[in-house]
Amino acid sequence: MRTFLSSLFLILLSWTSFAQVDSSAIVASHRPDGLFSSTRGAVQNWFASTSPALKFDPSMNHEEFLDWQWKMQAAMASLMKHPCLERQEPKMVKSVQRDGYRVEKWESYPLPGSVVAFLVLVPDGVDASHPAEASFLCIPGFGQTKELVAGEKGGVYDLSAEPLENVPLSAMAKHYVEEGWVAVAVDNPSFGELADNGKSDYLNSSRILLEGGWSYLGYSSYCDKVVLDWMKTRPYLRNDRIVVSGFSLGTEPMMAIGLMDKDIYAFVYNDFLCNTRERILVMTKPDSKGERPFPNSIEHLIPEFLSYFDFPDIVAAFAPRPVICVEGGMDRDFNLIKKAYEIAGAPSAFTCYHYDKYADPSSRTYYDELPEGLDRTEYFELVNCDSPRHGFKKDYVLPWLRGLFPKKAQ
């Protein structure tokens, strides 16, 4: 009996040692009863036990799908908390001619006491009699400006500098205007002309918004919606052919206003498609200091957002409106979105490209659920994201758009 107990003890000891080594990357219980004694364990376990109320269910029929879309829209509106205000109309403050198009600087007044500027690129020859076939609301990424997106010189907010000679890939508005389309470029809050005394202040402004019961995304999507609504009133564009083009951080306000505004015709989704709930739960491997990473900063925090849905659900709810995703993600998520487009009767309206590195299906990973214990690099690998190649995917986006908006015979 003693031998048996000793063996059992040794087995338990070695199991415990093994578990302790192995468990550093995951949020593990160190108790025989499996209960979590750390707050992180308790919280991780709690969060994992919750489920988004409006998770897309691929078994829906068309009627249920329509009903679900309304619920998605209502939930997004309740999360974004856009205020209903009497607002001053946007005002043009400058216009300069560029090669083949003009750039106008406008000011909008989303909240009393403040101003948010944006740029409008209008091709030569486009006017009320010859409205643009397509127009774009271009929302840049973190650390990008409306000037970059428009191919203008960074930090010069009055359009007094020459435009950039070598057009950067990120200049999505410029790429669009060169196709003969109208393009509007906005800033994300807290950066560029919206910075605080020349310093980006994503964190402080986000925190104040959160303290007041709002959020960075609520505010940014509201500012973008103000510009979108103004776009619809322009005589030189077709207000039933407005596309929202979001890069990286800019995909978030794109998704928000995309659900809330059925007038938007199509979407350019230029980031990998992320399941953010899963990312939080699996990116648990401590760094060299022993700290677990959190995937992002509080400008991405929208309290209760993940109680309703996640990014793939939102894109699924865009069906049947045309969407192109150009930086891949997990086939698991894209298969759900494709199913949504089938239910909506428009299977060809959803297009997806992976990063070159993962273009070959055999180079991608296929998980139903990602394993816990990943660091950022491992996470990106498992979701087929070649993050060093993150950038505007002009070569996928422009041909797709030309297909959507074919040039008319002159």
Structure tokens at 36: 């979590």
Between CA 363 and CA 333, with CA 367 as vertex, the angle to 5 degrees is 90
Q: Which distant-in-sequence residues (6+ apart) come within 8 Å of 186 by Cβ?
A: 116, 118, 137, 138, 139, 140, 146, 223, 224, 227
Which residue from 7, 14, 50, 365 is in contact with a second copy, where contact means CB under 8 A? 50
Closer residue to a second copy (CB): 164 or 280: 280
Q: How far is it, in rounded angstroms, from Cα 22 to Cα 285? A: 11
The strand pairing partners of 269, in sequence order, are: 246, 325
How many residues touch a second copy under the rule CB under 8 A: the total is: 63
Q: Does 116 bind a second copy (CB under 8 A)?
A: yes
One character per residue 353-372, x = contact with a second copy (rule: CB under 8 A):
--------------------
Q: Which stretch binds a second copy (CB under 8 A): 4-12, 108-116, 131-139, 256-264?
A: 108-116
Q: Does 205 bind a second copy (CB under 8 A)?
A: yes
Structure tokens at 74: 């209502």
One character per residue 301-330, x = contact with a second copy (rule: CB under 8 A):
x-xxxxx-----------------------
One character per residue 245-264, x = contact with a second copy (rule: CB under 8 A):
--------------------
Asked if residue 343 lies in contact with residue 318, where contact means CB atoms within 8 angstroms, the answer is: no
Q: Which stretch binds a second copy (CB under 8 A): 10-18, 32-40, 62-70, 163-171?
A: 32-40
- SS3 category, 252: helix
Give the 3-state secondary structure of 71-98.
HHHHHHHHHHCCCCCCCCCCEEEEEEEE
Q: Which stretch binds a second copy (CB under 8 A): 60-68, 97-105, 203-211, 362-370?
A: 203-211
**What is the number of alpha carbons within 13 Å of residue 140 lying toward its C-beta?**
28
Cα–Cα distances (Å) from 4 to 10, 12, 14, 155, in that order, read: 10, 12, 15, 75
Q: How many residues does the chain have?
A: 410
- SS3 category, 279: helix
Q: Does 243 bind a second copy (CB under 8 A)?
A: no
CB of 253 to a second copy, least distance (A): 13
How does DSSP classify residue 127? B
Q: Does 193 bind a second copy (CB under 8 A)?
A: yes
Q: Does 298 bind a second copy (CB under 8 A)?
A: yes
Which residue from 71, 94, 153, 207 is in contact with a second copy, where contact means CB under 8 A? 207
Q: How far is it, in rounded angstroms, from Cα 388 to Cα 360? A: 18
Q: Which stretch binds a second copy (CB under 8 A): 57-65, 201-209, 228-236, 400-408?
A: 201-209
Which of these, 389, 194, 258, 354, lies nearest to 206 by C-alpha position?
Answer: 194
Q: Does 43 bind a second copy (CB under 8 A)?
A: yes
Q: Does 190 bind a second copy (CB under 8 A)?
A: yes
Please provide residue 11's backbone torsions phi and psi, each rounded to the nearest 5 degrees: -60, -45
Please provide residue 116's backbone torsions phi and psi, each rounded to the nearest 5 degrees: -130, 120
Cα–Cα distances (Å) from 23 to 29, 35, 41, in that order, read: 8, 14, 12
Closer residue to a second copy (CB): 81 or 232: 81
Which residue from 55, 232, 292, 394 is in contact with a second copy, where contact means CB under 8 A? 292
Asked if residue 261 lies in contact with residue 321, where contact means CB atoms within 8 angstroms, the answer is: no
Which residue from 32, 213, 235, 388 is in contact with a second copy, where contact means CB under 8 A? 213
Q: Which stretch binds a second copy (CB under 8 A): 10-18, 93-101, 114-122, 239-247?
A: 114-122
Q: Which stretch binds a second copy (CB under 8 A): 44-52, 135-143, 363-371, 373-381?
A: 44-52
Closer residue to a second copy (CB): 306 or 346: 306
Q: Does 195 bind a second copy (CB under 8 A)?
A: yes
Residues forming contacts to a second copy in the complex (CB under 8 A) are: 24, 27, 31, 34-47, 49-50, 109-117, 189-190, 193-199, 201, 203-205, 207-213, 219, 277, 280, 286, 290-292, 294, 298, 301, 303-307
